[in-house]
Structure 1
Amino acid sequence: MRSRTQLDAFSEQLSFPLDPFQIEACAALEAGHGVLVCAPTGAGKTVVGEFAVHLALDAGRKCFYTTPIKALSNQKFAELSERHGKDAVGLLTGDTSINSDAPIVVMTTEVLRNMIYAESPTLRGLSHVVMDEVHFLADRFRGAVWEEVILHLPGDVRLVSLSATVSNAEEFGAWMETVRGDTTIVVDETRPIPLWQHIMVGRRLFDLFDAKATPTGGREMVVDPDLVRHVKQRLALDRMNSWEPRGRGRSSDHRPLPRPEVIARLDEEGLLPAITFIFSRAGCEAALAQCVRSRLRLTTPEQTAQIREIVDRHTRDLPRADLEVLGYWGWREALERGFAAHHAGMLPAFRETVEELFVNGLVRAVFATETLALGINMPARSVVLERLVKYNGDTHAELTPGEYTQLTGRAGRRGIDVEGHAVVLWQPGVEPTDVAGLASTRTFPLRSSFRPGYNMSINLIDRMGSAESRALLERSFAQFQADRSVVGLTRGIERNEAALAELRDRLGGVDGEYFEYVHIRERLRSRERQLERQKRTDRRGAAVESLNSLRRGDVIAIPVGKRSGLAVVLETDLDRGDPRPLVLTEEKWAGRVSAADFPVPARSLGRMRLPRHVDHRTARVRRDLASALRSTGITPPRRLKRDKGGREDPEVVELRKALRAHPCHSQPDREQLSRIGERYNRLARETESMRQKVAATTNSLARTFDRIVALLTERGFIATGENPKATEDGQRLGRIYCESDLLVAECLRRGVWSGLSPAELAAVVSSVVYESRQDADAPDRGPTVPIRRALADTARVWGELRSDEIRHKLPLTREPDPGFVTAVYQWASEESLVDALLAAGSGGKELSAGDFVRWCRQVIDLLDQVHSTSSDPSVAKAAARAVGAIRRGVVAVAAT
């Protein structure tokens, strides 16, 4: 008879049977193994984490449950408290500490990393650590923290790693095995709720895949032929109408339906509640406003009453005087009608209200940025994607299959829905086959973002010494992946070198005349390619700048394409990197144009008076405006004048001259040998690129660490000697956790922030944590003389540090940003929220109340560190008072 196990006891407490992958992972955990569980969103991975909690409690030990973001930590804290009782569960999230000595503590991963470095007594008795959303270690800003924890946790602590589905789970598991010992890898690719893929074309909702077709090869899906046929017909109609003479025919408008109509259509199909992902905060708020302006209502009177009760509970502590500036009444009206936005710019109390209402089925349509896809428990029946392109901070890039899966993974509520639905809104440029590729691809490799920084390096040196620190870095997942990639690169280099030797012989050897001739040709082509790239970059830059300079009512000429001719600007675009102003052409077409439509810069040819509100979707409005545009008498330039680039590049001239003068240039077999030479040059470029990758990869982390240690030693943070250790200043640096850690440590050491009042210190400290979403029109110099002096001194210290970083070939510390200085100074001086927000937007860029609170909390976090690390008692005292001054009103509500 089989003896009763802990898994048996745990299973009896559940209201549902365990899936096979859950049983496998839990059994491995009970057997004393660490586990890595990779499964789709909503599959029930957290059950394995909850079993780790059960094992720890049963053994009288501790379990830490870590998450990447505070919202997830709060959610898990509530769930575990309900299950095990409030006395058994604690919460640590940087600005919140509840019952920290409890046997179960939920925390953000940064908190655990800091506890390990500080050798906190709270770690005593720890038997299990759950790392929820462990694939977050790919995050380029915070992912390194996860690897630090994995590498530093004591060997007897069992690690439970929960990840979304990744294609290299075996690779990640193999690394975990090397650094943590026995690790069982459990992969389950089955979604508990089937996901149906759709494309909405106008008001018609098509299946993306043909359910009747037999998949070829067993897995490949076939795109629905009705969908393909319908899209082709609409595009053909659009082309036909665009060829009609002026004033005849009817322009077909293929933009997606207005948001209220999309929601109403989904409601007709029984596909609500739905999350619509829109990749900008402004877009989410605009979508919400459209729904509020419409007559659509998704709630009953009974639901409205429930909504009011939950809203009142979440917002009762908000100062009444601030409700207007917070946009409270409009937000509340939208909720009462069943709509909401969800993004990082919202006030935390607002965001948490939306989450509770949505989970309870009271809000049925949410417009959200992609941050919602990260683990927060807000599944829906349907997920809608308006676009398959998003701005990644540098440029507009297409969604990857991994991002598509992460977003659509929210569709389908376990225990409520029998299936989930993903809906892509069609518009010209969206190819059904491309969407099918995103929906069916299952290769999402997990890539490490681990790199040593100043704080990490000083803590490693102080705890382990130089040699052991280098050894630990070489054990990281980043180096593990790098070393594996080097094997393939080295083999490729060997193959290429053999091929290059053969081609060299055919060219007469490296000392032959023809080899020299090939070299000149390669230099010439390389220079011509470089000049062409530069020309394209300059052309696009000029086009972007010209579109940014346009104003509403400007008349411009679209120089090329089927929309060429006069157009009037109806709306400008706030996206400075890729502006897409809304225009109306004299042919009655209204839509957005981009830099690609302007091979020469756009310029205003004149002005046209526009009504205050222009409904460009109405045919009559378009017709009247186009008629008014034609009657302005403005004519477009007759000919497109491209910049021909001025004088020819002198290097190109010299190379062409050398090529023509070379003896080989007149030989009869020149073209045949030239083709061999081109192959040689192409292969040589590829091989050199591979060599550079190998050189940059091998021991790359250890080299970076050595450079950091050299800089810190120069600056007196590490004592020289046979066994380097952190100095007193270095130990302070080891307790500063922020992106600009070394800059903060230098400012404290040099007394740059001494003599400031609490509000002034908060203002100056904000410059090293705040980062403007866009370039400010005019930098904030600071409201008082001491602030201006301290900011100038901080900038001077940063400049010196930047010079050292360049000399040591290290990543550069970000320049201090004074964009939040006046806002936080006013808030810490007990000014109103209205005044603080006005000050935050004085540079021309508005700051939402949610962003204001978020930045205040980051300032508080750093001020807490300044308080505990500063050697100047007056600075430490001012920091503590500043924390109290900032933590009031909406900021205090957010921190509870």
Structure 2
Amino acid sequence: QCLRSDLNLLEPHQVSAVDAIVDRHLSALAPGDADVLGVDEWRDGLRRGFAAHHAGLLPTFRQAVEELFVEGLVQVVFATETLALGINMPARSVVLERLVKYNGEAHVDLTPGEYTQLTGRAGRRGIDVEGHAVVVWTPEVAPDRVAGLAGARTFPLRSSFAPEYNMAMNLIDRLGVDGSRDLLRRSFAQFQTDRSVVGQARQLDRARMTLRKVDAELEHSAERKGLAPESFLEYVSLREDIRRHERAAKFVRRMEASDAVSEDLLSLKPGNVIGLNNGRHRGLALVLERAAMDVDPKPLVLSEDGWTGRVGVRDFVNPPEVLGHLRIPKSANRRSAQGRRELVKLIRSSGIARPRGRNKKKRELSEHDLRLTELRNRLRKHPVHKLNGIDDLHRLSERRHRLLRDIDSLERAVDERTAALETEFDAITGVLTELSYLETDDSGELVVTPTGAVLRRIYSESDLLVAECIRAGIWDRLSPPDLAAVVSSMVYESRRDSYSGGVDSMPGDRALRESLLATVDVWQATNDVQERHGVVQTREPDTGFCIAIGAWASGRSLREALLAASERGQLLSPGDFVRWNRQVIDLLEQIRGSVDPDTGLAVAAARAVKGVKRGVVASELD
């Protein structure tokens, strides 16, 4: 809006100073990238005294804005919180449009610490007597909430420390298992955890004391009514057993239904027509692409209202029924609006009737169903079942049951949290031992194996998966651009609202697709091991950036690389493009340094780094 207006905040003599600073910052950029980067529009704003500052900008652009702002040549900056992080850029006034921020997963409220960090930029030392922080009013903003944010003076520290595979390998190599556990026990994260257990331990003591009182009251009341307390508690136990088995039977029925839906989804083939009857999209749907994985299969479908997306178990109450089959024309391009319209027309003119419902398959009785029948018979025959006037006993027994449940929960919580980091560390070492990264020596101590030496040099969120792929040799014969593409799946994270398509539908050579499929297989096998040991599973490889970085590493232009990303549903700003490339370069360098320098993988990694580290990416790394 400011660019479209006549707003100008600078004097003529200041404009030349802006041009000089901008030219200096842009000197390393290739002239051919100017149009793609929007240099002219960006410069126009700077020459009129205003600019944007956010993580999606190229670092070169952000640095230029910061220098101009400090020099007083940019009067207004439209910024995200990046402007407040580690940069000495005070302003006369700070305006917050909303008290909400996006943390990468969801929109969450600002904390007092974040509010102070943002508004702390208001007031220039030595220039302003005071600074002003303005919060734009909306019906959702309560004045007392703003006052609470502004008035907070203490900001609690929260440790985010947690053991990881690479960390465990390096700790054990240097300190041994006992030394590693001792270090974890002395960490700030464990200190915070131990402090939080104190309140739960007090709750546990109070619950045990209350249980003793309830037991005494229950015994006294039962004896007054001529009942043996043991007989009444036996009756209560029968009722609780029935409730537990009812819940278990319900869970089994739900799992059986989910398995049936999953099995049918996995069997769907392109051209099958099914019915959607749950959620926003109802009616007929054409299967475009088979489910890629056996676990939680999600075939790609096109509904008759024009929606394209993947459907899974949660989208069906009953297993999907194949209502018919249509031949998908080779000329129909589902990625284009015209192609989707042609396919929708094909569905609507097929004459296939919508489903009217599907009878559920008759299921066999589970062991819980059989056990329920037995327990209900025993309950009806119990002498307490036909007694009247024992409502007070039932109320006491219900209270007793709740107390027992609370005590059990508190005991487990205290046990788990008292040694939370050690427990997590032991689970991780269990995974590493099963995968032969650690082994027991003659003295009974865990030591790092030669295979584990590779994992010690990989510092990544997907460190274990990267090491497993290197060991499996599935990346050994890839070309440098394809290696960069596969490695990008280890670091890249697509936006939640974007869809990059399955591996099978990915353009490019066969070697890349086969390597990505093999990588997914290794990921699934690794997750099976992690699940057995109760460790948080490694995230799934994300192919959203593969084609873009493959094109860039092959020598294609920035415009072509960004276009390749958009065709896979990834709308990247130039700044995001550079940021993801830098992360891929970092991981490629780690891979190169973790294997023998004479291997094909090391050579390909070095060449991939050279192919990626050019143009706008290289200028931001220098």
TM-score by length of 2: 0.72
2:475–2:515: 8 Å Cα contact kept in structure 1?
Answer: yes
Query: Higher helix fraction: Structure 1 or Structure 2?
Result: 2
Q: 1:715 to 1:306 in 2, by over 3 A?
A: same
Q: Indicate which of 415, 424, 429 corresponds to 1:704.
A: 424
- Superposition map of 1:158-173 within 5 A: none
Q: Indicate which of 594, 611, 617 corresponds to 1:885.
A: 611
Give the structure 2 partner of residue 69 of structure 1. Answer: none
Look up the equivalent residue of 1:873 and give its one-letter code.
T
Q: Indicate which of 429, 441, 453 corresponds to 2:152.
A: 441
Secondary structure, aligned partner of 2:567: coil
Whole-Å separation in 2 of the counterparts to 1:386 and 1:893? 34
1:339–1:364: 8 Å Cα contact kept in structure 2?
Answer: yes
Whole-Å separation in 2 of the counterparts to 1:440 and 1:519? 56
- Superposition map of 1:465-864 within 5 A: 465-508=176-219, 511=230, 513=232, 546=280, 667-668=388-389, 670=391, 680=400, 683-721=403-441, 722=443, 723-774=445-496, 775-779=498-502, 781=506, 783-864=508-589
1:493–1:691: 8 Å Cα contact kept in structure 2?
Answer: yes
2:545–2:570: 8 Å Cα contact kept in structure 1?
Answer: no
1:517–1:664: 8 Å Cα contact kept in structure 2?
Answer: no
Superposition deviation, residue 679 in structure 1: 5.4
Whole-Å separation in 1 of the counterparts to 2:78 and 2:386? 65
Give the structure 2 partner of residue 411 of structure 1. Answer: 122
2:93–2:134: 8 Å Cα contact kept in structure 1?
Answer: yes
Superposition deviation, residue 375 in structure 1: 2.2
Superposition deviation, residue 853 in structure 1: 0.4
Secondary structure, aligned partner of 1:340: strand
Whole-Å separation in 1 of the counterparts to 2:400 and 2:155? 35
2:544–2:570: 8 Å Cα contact kept in structure 1?
Answer: no
Residue deviations 1:726-769, cap 9 Å, x none? 12221121111111111111222221111112111111111111
Q: Which is further off, 730-739 or 302-311?
A: 302-311
Runs of 5+ unmatched residues, structure 1: 1-289, 535-541, 550-649
Whole-Å separation in 2 of the counterparts to 1:413 and 1:675? 67
Give the structure 1 partner of residue 326 of structure 2. Answer: none
Superposition deviation, residue 667 in structure 1: 4.6
Superposition deviation, residue 412 in structure 1: 2.5
Look up the equivalent residue of 1:792 and give its one-letter code.
L
Q: 1:674 to 1:715 in 2, by over 3 A?
A: same
- Whether 1:865 and 2:585 are equivalent positions in the alignment is no
Q: Indicate which of 59, 62, 68 corresponds to 1:348.
A: 59
Superposition deviation, residue 823 in structure 1: 0.6
Q: Indicate which of 41, 45, 54 corresponds to 1:334.
A: 45
1:514–1:664: 8 Å Cα contact kept in structure 2?
Answer: no
Residue deviations 1:96-138, cap 9 Å, x none? xxxxxxxxxxxxxxxxxxxxxxxxxxxxxxxxxxxxxxxxxxx
Superposition deviation, residue 842 in structure 1: 1.2
Superposition deviation, residue 813 in structure 1: 0.9
Whole-Å separation in 1 of the counterparts to 2:52 and 2:80? 9
Look up the equivalent residue of 1:697 and give its one-letter code.
R
Superposition deviation, residue 462 in structure 1: 1.0
Whole-Å separation in 2 of the counterparts to 1:484 and 1:512? 43
The size of the alignment, in residue pairs, is: 495
Whole-Å separation in 2 of the counterparts to 1:664 and 1:296? 84
Q: 1:870 to 1:848 in 2, by over 3 A?
A: same
Superposition deviation, residue 711 in structure 1: 1.9
Whole-Å separation in 2 of the counterparts to 1:405 and 1:688? 42
Q: Indicate which of 345, 365, 375 corresponds to 2:86.
A: 375
Give the structure 1 partner of residue 269 of structure 2. Answer: none
- Whether 1:301 and 2:12 are equivalent positions in the alignment is yes
Look up the equivalent residue of 1:810 and give its one-letter code.
V
Superposition deviation, residue 830 in structure 1: 0.6
Secondary structure, aligned partner of 1:366: strand
Q: Indicate which of 874, 878, 883 corresponds to 2:600.
A: 874
Q: 1:811 to 1:300 in 2, by over 3 A?
A: same
Whole-Å separation in 2 of the counterparts to 1:691 and 1:680? 16
Whole-Å separation in 2 of the counterparts to 1:335 and 1:685? 64
Secondary structure, aligned partner of 1:768: helix
2:508–2:547: 8 Å Cα contact kept in structure 1?
Answer: yes
Look up the equivalent residue of 1:465 and give its one-letter code.
G
Q: 1:427 to 1:879 in 2, by over 3 A?
A: same
Secondary structure, aligned partner of 1:472: helix
Q: 1:753 to 1:673 in 2, by over 3 A?
A: same
Whole-Å separation in 2 of the counterparts to 1:300 and 1:665? 95
Q: 1:505 to 1:402 in 2, by over 3 A?
A: farther
Q: 1:378 to 1:692 in 2, by over 3 A?
A: farther
Give the structure 2 partner of residue 422 of structure 1. Answer: 133
Give the structure 2 partner of residue 172 of structure 1. Answer: none
Q: 1:736 to 1:675 in 2, by over 3 A?
A: same
Give the structure 2 partner of residue 190 of structure 1. Answer: none
Whole-Å separation in 1 of the counterparts to 2:508 and 2:24? 38
Whole-Å separation in 2 of the counterparts to 1:681 and 1:384? 55
1:299–1:337: 8 Å Cα contact kept in structure 2?
Answer: yes
**C-alpha RMSD over aligned residues:** 3.5
Secondary structure, aligned partner of 2:135: strand
Superposition deviation, residue 687 in structure 1: 3.9
Q: 1:867 to 1:519 in 2, by over 3 A?
A: same
Runs of 5+ unmatched residues, structure 2: 223-228, 255-275, 284-365
Look up the equivalent residue of 2:440 and give its one-letter code.
T
Superposition deviation, residue 836 in structure 1: 0.2
Q: 1:890 to 1:511 in 2, by over 3 A?
A: farther
1:518–1:678: 8 Å Cα contact kept in structure 2?
Answer: no
Superposition deviation, residue 394 in structure 1: 4.3
User: Which has the bigger relative contact order, CA under 8 A and spacing at least 6?
Assistant: 2
Look up the equivalent residue of 1:797 and give its one-letter code.
V
Superposition deviation, residue 327 in structure 1: 1.6
Look up the equivalent residue of 1:857 and give its one-letter code.
R
Whole-Å separation in 1 of the counterparts to 2:230 and 2:27? 84
Whole-Å separation in 2 of the counterparts to 1:720 and 1:806? 22
1:373–1:410: 8 Å Cα contact kept in structure 2?
Answer: yes
Residue deviations 1:166-209, cap 9 Å, x none? xxxxxxxxxxxxxxxxxxxxxxxxxxxxxxxxxxxxxxxxxxxx
Superposition deviation, residue 684 in structure 1: 4.8
Residue deviations 1:459-496, cap 9 Å, x none? 11111111111111111111122222223322221122
Q: 1:750 to 1:772 in 2, by over 3 A?
A: same
Look up the equivalent residue of 2:47 and give its one-letter code.
E
Q: 1:296 to 1:797 in 2, by over 3 A?
A: same
Residue deviations 1:821-865, cap 9 Å, x none? 111111011101111001111122311111110011111111111
Secondary structure, aligned partner of 1:383: strand
Q: 1:346 to 1:519 in 2, by over 3 A?
A: farther
Q: 1:461 to 1:437 in 2, by over 3 A?
A: same
Q: Percent identity?
A: 52
Look up the equivalent residue of 1:768 and give its one-letter code.
M
